[in-house]
Structure 1
Amino acid sequence: MKISGLSMLSLTSLLTLGIWSHAIAEVRYQIDLSTPQHHMAKVRAVFPKTRAGDFTVNLPVWRTGRYEVLPLADGVRLFEARDATGKLLPWQRTATGEWQVTLAQPTNVTISYQLYANELGKRVRHIDATHAFLDASGVFMYSPEFRQQPLTVALKVPENWNSYSGLTRVAEQQFTAANYDVLVDSPIETGISQQRSFAADGKDYQLVIWGEGNYNPEQIVSDLQKVTAASQTIWDGYPFDNYLFMVHATNGARGATEHINSTVIQTPRFNFRERKDYLRFISTAAHEFIHTWNVKAYRPAGLVPYRYQQENMTPLLWMAEGSTSYFQNQLLLRAGVMTAQEFLEDLAKRIDANQHNPGRGIQSVAASSLNQWTSTGGDYATNNSVNIYAEGYMASLALDFSLLQETHLNASYRDVHKRLYREFRLPKDYSVNDVQLILKQLSGRDYHDWWQQHVDSPMTLDFPSLLAHAGLQLNYGKDSKVEPYLGITLGDGLQLSRVAKDSPAWQAGVGAGDELVAVNGLKVTADGLNKRINDFKAGDTITLTLFSNDTLVTRQVVLGAQPSGKLQLQSLKKVSHNQKAFFKAWLGIDWPFDDKGNFKSLS
């Protein structure tokens, strides 16, 4: 075992001799991962000399990229604090993520604690016999007094482990950062992994994959090269010189988190081969890469600077996340990694979900941004809320089309983000007024009323009229027919996880949590429910037998109607030159349909 090629003793000796005199003002972190099979680590932090009195150290209560308070301090045990002589110092817990140490005289302070890390899916900390993923927000405590001080991180790891991070490497297992804000946004992946390096548009990239699976690293590298270079269709320049893609091929955890010059992406290990699964993965990679600009290089007021011990409120989270979702597949399309057909299939799926979300008539996307910190999901949320990703995507689409129309295709929503990157780089922030001013400068139009209608109020979009500008129409296909509609979603077995607001079941008094037993007096199964409902037609009255609060009840339901099949985006029968020009200005590719309305061959 080693720490950057140096033992703990030799590191201390060098500091004592003054050979590393520059480190005296630094915060020095050390993490011992020598027994990873038990998900445990030992963490040590040395803070520079400070005055007598109360000395506070904190572990954040949330991590960047996940706008939710998390119980991160629950993994901490055996906390100790010592002075420069090694003497134990008295301390007390003063808040969820806060320890207060009492200093009788000026001294440097060394804290140490045991850390439990077995939370892979939250992308905060995970340690096992093959690797460790360390996001500083759940690993390394900080002192507000020294938050802006430079720091070092030294790792003690098994001999066959390699470490990677967006941090600056100074030794085999040692990294430095300008301050804690850089550390908290530069996670470390260490362990047994596969690694590839590549370059694109003059920037250097690494791909690190932990875990076995049916992925093809060469294909991933090839596509990432195209996607990363395509970023310049939105922004001018890069906020980094080196970028790290960390991929976890896992048994079930999925999701991703953006950081200042890296990302971690979690995908089930056998979800790479099928085209739809691979597109989901590479689209996620594009999403997180876009965040390198949108959120990490510029972000809204309320998120600058990050306040790690409390919620960071802003009505613009939809621009941070939903606009990123809006651009992610456009990047794939412009890079040639996704076809026009695949892009429009995804857009049709999103529109269909929007139209079937009752919450879109209740909550605005700005209110959803403010509600993100307390959103818990469930039946109430799905019936009465929108989310910053899906509804933010639609608000971005509407804003993009508005700008294209107002400027006769001379400006788009991409130009808004180009301006935000150019004019509001951190440590600056931007406000709603700043965005509206950019919109006015681009278009000559005052967007206050538009904003009130589409952002500050529940948004209703006329998709047929909107999409016609780009020569597109929505339909369910020529073979679509009317099917009966009940409006329930099954959870565990026949228990209802959701009853859609104002659906036939809702109007009949059926509620989430009820357990379905029979339809018209005959037992049903979870697998056979849809077939049973399709025995009827829209307008028929059926009797549902359910357990509601452990009481057997019946409900009379008049079935509604819905079209069968998937919603599709297709070419209008007649498409003008102007509509084709709008399509190209929007997506950056030529009109993809032939004269019969079929997608052109890629050969």
Structure 2
Amino acid sequence: MKPTSLVILTTTAIFSMSWVIPALADVDYHIDINQPAHHLAQVSVSFPQTDSDKLTVNLPVWRTGRYQVLPVADGVRLFNATDSKGQSLPWKRTASGEWQIALTKPTSVKVTYQLHANELGDRLRHIDNSHAYLDASGVFMYSPAFRQQPVTIKMAVPEGWQSYSGMDKGPKSHSFSAPNYDVLVDSPIETGISEHVSFEADGRDYDVVFWGEGNYDTQKIVADLAKISGQASAIWDGYPFKRYLYMVHATSGARGATEHLNSTVIQIPRFNFREREDYLRFISTASHEFIHTWNVKAYRPQGLVPYDYQSENLTDLLWMAEGSTSYFQNQLLLRAEVITAKEFFDDLSKRIVLNQHNPGREVQSIAEASLGQWSSTWGDYALNHSVNIYSEGYLASMALDFSLLNDTQLEHSYRDVHKALYQEYKIPMGYNVADVQSILKQLSGKDYQSWWQEFVNQPFSLPFDELLGHAGLTTTYGKSAKTVVDAGMALSGLHDDLILATVIKNGPAWKAGLTAGDEIVAINGLKVTADGLTKRLNDFIVGDTIKLSIFSDDRLKEVSLRLTEQPKGDLTIAPLDEATDAQKAFYKAWLGVDWPFDDKGEWISTAD
């Protein structure tokens, strides 16, 4: 067994033949942000005395919240190790994120290294003249021998900076403490020039830190975050934190978000806050990450417990960790009246359309996608042969929710499954498939193994109108729905080229023999441009066969393509003509809010 796989879950002594666990003592971290303009800092880690003949230190090869191995250690240079007297110790690099230090006698060890931090979009580490965002997985090394020891963090930062973290504050400015490395690695630090606002919701304290200029409305964001933060009781019966930190980055292009133990970081391009569509994307992300504080951080699948920071952590339940979080995120916003019912169903409509246009749903199960997340990529192959744990996990969660509501005559919903997971499988425990199925049986009195086989262990397609019908709803393209021609392909969208990015499996282009990377030159012998391709295709009707001139591997070819049809316009979700009281009751049990339509079938808006 590798030293990196040795994890102490409690303070009970667990021994290895290669080292002896030392007495409880702090691991002290210090970071000096001395060259912010060049993204550089100096880091030192002081480990307590050990009686072993070697000390292994590691920098994680991945960070929590992103299930992918990253070149984290590439930011480390000038590594050095010294003993308690300041004498240099011999060391060697034994893996991409591992260093072994040779010891000849009991001694404390101090490790120092230069850190380059310019990975803002990875939400790993970023230092510049205005701030530093420090996720410990990309900044602070640890030793498996001292993983459970208390840690202190002291920082030397430029004058005028303010520092924030979900960790406890230390006795001095720009210092923090944590009970162990696992808390440190899940409590990133934001330090720099920022705007800070505090609020209280449901007996808990919250901080919001804004870094970067942008077109955001601080008051609106804080007000909506307060509404979201007060909705946790809709699913769970308690909080895993006393204080929570929202970190908002208004960036020059980086985007994304990551959940942590009692905080989150959300990155949005600086001018992507004001328009309603942009704002909904931001606030939905905030809700998603807040939910993760329970689902993933407070309880998570066994494959992720405890975290192994030096290798992949496989689980076939990653769809529940991510997809179910996506499923709940807008429900919390709807309950909090941050979004309207129409906005909720506009989002669901888009998810349905994406699912229906994803050939991969006929190929890959969400269990397989969960296991393959660590090596997943995106592109033509993924579209045609894969599913996404977020989007398909959302739909599987919805199917499970509807099944549970029906099986319990609306007494229990999928929310109760997650409430039970929080009650019964808090970290350091982890849950497995059998545990989830056991909860489902306890709630419904029914065995869900066959459901699991149909919707989780094999590819699935949902009968959306049948499902939504339980809640008095249906899908529609409108009374004046039309169809347009479809070639079953999409361009890369880069510059003005006509290079195919995707070719839909079993669509017209696929059947014509086209593949991603082919470049369209002409249609029926006439030159075509990227901005004119759609207009040119619309000159034809469904069933027409056109001749495409293409370059494939630099060779000019001509192929015949028969156009098919696709609906024109946006899919929407609307009420059935005469929704029954039972269907309206199902709707309320499902989403926790009243029927959103008036007597004429028009939306009743409730959000600000």
The TM tier, using the shorter chain, reads over 0.9
Is the CA contact (8 Å cut-off) linking 1:52 and 1:107 kept in structure 2?
A: no
Choose from 514, 525, 531 the match for 2:529.
Answer: 525
Structure 1 CA distance for aligned equivalents of residues 341 and 48 of structure 2: 57
Q: 1:430 to 1:254 in 2, by over 3 A?
A: same
Q: Does 1:209 align with 2:210?
A: yes
Pairwise CA distance, 1:518: 1.0
Structure 1 CA distance for aligned equivalents of residues 357 and 160 of structure 2: 51
Structure 2 CA distance for aligned equivalents of residues 351 and 602 of structure 1: 24
Structure 2 CA distance for aligned equivalents of residues 446 and 588 of structure 1: 26
Structure 2 CA distance for aligned equivalents of residues 595 and 459 of structure 1: 36
**Aligned pairs (5 A) from 1:152-191:** 152-170=152-170, 171-191=172-192
Choose from 576, 580, 599 the match for 2:580.
Answer: 576
The answer for unaligned runs of 5 or more in structure 2 is 1-22
CA deviation string 1:279-305 (max 9, x = no partner): 110100000000000000000011000
Q: Does 1:587 align with 2:608?
A: no
Bigger shift: residues 548-557 or 524-533: 524-533
- Structure 1 residue identity aligned to 2:294: W
Q: 1:601 to 1:118 in 2, by over 3 A?
A: closer
Is the CA contact (8 Å cut-off) linking 1:28 and 1:151 kept in structure 2?
A: yes
Structure 2 CA distance for aligned equivalents of residues 282 and 378 of structure 1: 27
Pairwise CA distance, 1:600: 2.5
Structure 2 CA distance for aligned equivalents of residues 67 and 363 of structure 1: 19
Structure 1 CA distance for aligned equivalents of residues 28 and 595 of structure 2: 57
Query: Which residue of the partner structure matches residue 18 of structure 2?
Result: none
**Aligned pairs (5 A) from 1:226-241:** 226-241=227-242
Q: Does 1:536 align with 2:537?
A: no
Query: Which residue of the partner structure matches residue 440 of structure 1?
Result: 441
Is the CA contact (8 Å cut-off) linking 1:486 and 1:505 kept in structure 2?
A: yes
Q: Does 1:494 align with 2:495?
A: no
Structure 1 CA distance for aligned equivalents of residues 312 and 319 of structure 2: 16
Structure 2 CA distance for aligned equivalents of residues 184 and 354 of structure 1: 35
Pairwise CA distance, 1:589: 1.1
CA deviation string 1:410-465 (max 9, x = no partner): 00000000000011111111110000000001001100000000000101111111
Q: 1:255 to 1:358 in 2, by over 3 A?
A: same
Pairwise CA distance, 1:53: 1.1
Pairwise CA distance, 1:525: 1.3
- 4+ residue stretches of structure 1 with deviation over 6 A? none
Structure 2 CA distance for aligned equivalents of residues 528 and 470 of structure 1: 43
Structure 1 CA distance for aligned equivalents of residues 527 and 232 of structure 2: 55
Structure 2 CA distance for aligned equivalents of residues 454 and 154 of structure 1: 49
Structure 2 CA distance for aligned equivalents of residues 230 and 249 of structure 1: 26
- Structure 2 residue identity aligned to 1:457: Q
Query: Which residue of the partner structure matches residue 105 of structure 2?
Result: 105
Is the CA contact (8 Å cut-off) linking 2:341 and 2:605 kept in structure 1?
A: no
SS at match of 2:548: strand
Is the CA contact (8 Å cut-off) linking 2:81 and 2:111 kept in structure 1?
A: yes
Is the CA contact (8 Å cut-off) linking 2:62 and 2:137 kept in structure 1?
A: yes
Structure 2 CA distance for aligned equivalents of residues 182 and 437 of structure 1: 30
SS at match of 1:478: coil
Query: Which residue of the partner structure matches residue 41 of structure 1?
Result: 41
Query: Which residue of the partner structure matches residue 283 of structure 1?
Result: 284
Is the CA contact (8 Å cut-off) linking 1:541 and 1:559 kept in structure 2?
A: yes
Is the CA contact (8 Å cut-off) linking 2:216 and 2:273 kept in structure 1?
A: yes
- Structure 2 residue identity aligned to 1:572: L
- Structure 1 residue identity aligned to 2:201: A
The percentage of counterpart residues that share the same residue type is 65
**Aligned pairs (5 A) from 1:54-203:** 54-170=54-170, 171-203=172-204
Structure 2 CA distance for aligned equivalents of residues 527 and 87 of structure 1: 67
Structure 2 CA distance for aligned equivalents of residues 166 and 379 of structure 1: 40
TM-score for both structures, normalised by structure 1: 0.95
Structure 1 CA distance for aligned equivalents of residues 227 and 377 of structure 2: 37
Pairwise CA distance, 1:481: 0.6
Query: Which residue of the partner structure matches residue 557 of structure 2?
Result: 553
Task: Please give the root-mean-square deviation of Cα atoms over the aligned residues, in Å.
Answer: 1.2
SS at match of 2:231: helix
Aligned residues between the structures: 582
CA deviation string 1:290-338 (max 9, x = no partner): 0000000000011000000000000000000000000000000000000
Pairwise CA distance, 1:34: 2.3
The answer for unaligned runs of 5 or more in structure 1 is 1-22
CA deviation string 1:454-479 (max 9, x = no partner): 00010111111111000111111122
TM-score for both structures, normalised by structure 2: 0.95
SS at match of 1:323: helix
